[in-house]
Chains A and B, each alone.
Chain A
Amino acid sequence: GQQLNQSPQSMFIQEGEDVSMNCTSSSIFNTWLWYKQDPGEGPVLLIALYKAGELTSNGRLTAQFGITRKDSFLNISASIPSDVGIYFCAGRNQAGTALIFGKGTTLSVSS
């Protein structure tokens, strides 16, 4: 089945630094999504991307849908302690169908 390779697996950064993480796939997706999971909570949608090449921002977060439709990245600028958590990429081929997730990037921010 389809798989997503998400990297890095974990990151340890200082408050104020920028962060970048990405996902790649061997097959194409029509939708790329980025979720964040806080401890004890479920994943919360951060950004949804629907078109190849699309670049979308949500506050300090910016994500792009790769031109080949096989990859996506998420950038976080000027990180703050509350950015700590697990970030998941997810791909989907058709609206309403199952999401395919990456293994997650665990972000730690020290102040």
Chain B
Amino acid sequence: EAGVTQFPSHSVIEKGQTVTLRCDPISGHDNLYWYRRVMGKEIKFLLHFVKESKQDESGMPNNRFLAERTGGTYSTLKVQPAELEDSGVYFCASSPYLGGGAHEQYFGPGTRLTVT
């Protein structure tokens, strides 16, 4: 079974540009999460999809970040326009449906975003 995949693995952009990150969750996983780790700090939650619906977007930093999950499969996270403080590693995680016990989150390898 393929794991969570993310694209690209690295992205270097200039301040003011736009970047779109993609996450493909494990097939059949309804729950999809985005997290971010700024260097040296903790991994912080950004938002949570259940299928195509945003369940919780309380961690989104501001309106320069837009996440979508059309069709309830893969998800994109767009940053527009990017600022220096957006640099970090963006992780995607997925987990199966919630019924019948705890289901833990499986993480992708992350996208390292550098804004210069």
Q: Any chain B CB within 8 A of the CB of A4?
A: yes
Q: Is the CB of A99 within 8 A of B105?
A: yes
Which residue of A31, A33, A41, A103 contacts B42 across the interface (Cβ within 8 Å)? A103
Which residue of B50, B102, B110 contacts A50 across the interface (Cβ within 8 Å)? B102
Q: Is the CB of B98 within 8 A of A101?
A: no
- Cα separation A25 to B40 with both chains bound (whole Å): 19
- Cα separation A43 to B45 with both chains bound (whole Å): 14
- Size of the chain B interface, CB-CB below 8 angstroms: 31
Which residue of B40, B59, B106 contacts A45 across the interface (Cβ within 8 Å)? B106
Question: Could you list some 22 contacts between A and B, CB below 8 A?
Answer: A4-B42, A31-B102, A42-B91, A42-B109, A42-B110, A43-B91, A45-B104, A45-B105, A88-B42, A95-B102, A96-B95, A97-B48, A97-B56, A98-B45, A98-B56, A99-B35, A99-B45, A99-B105, A101-B35, A101-B42, A101-B44, A102-B42
Q: Which residues of A contact B (CB under 8 A)?
A: 4, 31, 33, 35, 40-45, 48, 50, 88, 90, 95-104
Q: Which residues of B contact A (CB under 8 A)?
A: 4, 9, 31, 33, 35, 40-45, 48, 50, 55-56, 58-59, 91, 93, 95, 98, 101-110
Given contacts A42-B108, A98-B58, 17 further A-B contacts (CB under 8 A): A33-B104, A42-B107, A42-B110, A43-B43, A43-B107, A45-B106, A50-B102, A88-B42, A96-B48, A97-B56, A98-B33, A98-B45, A98-B48, A99-B43, A100-B45, A101-B43, A103-B42
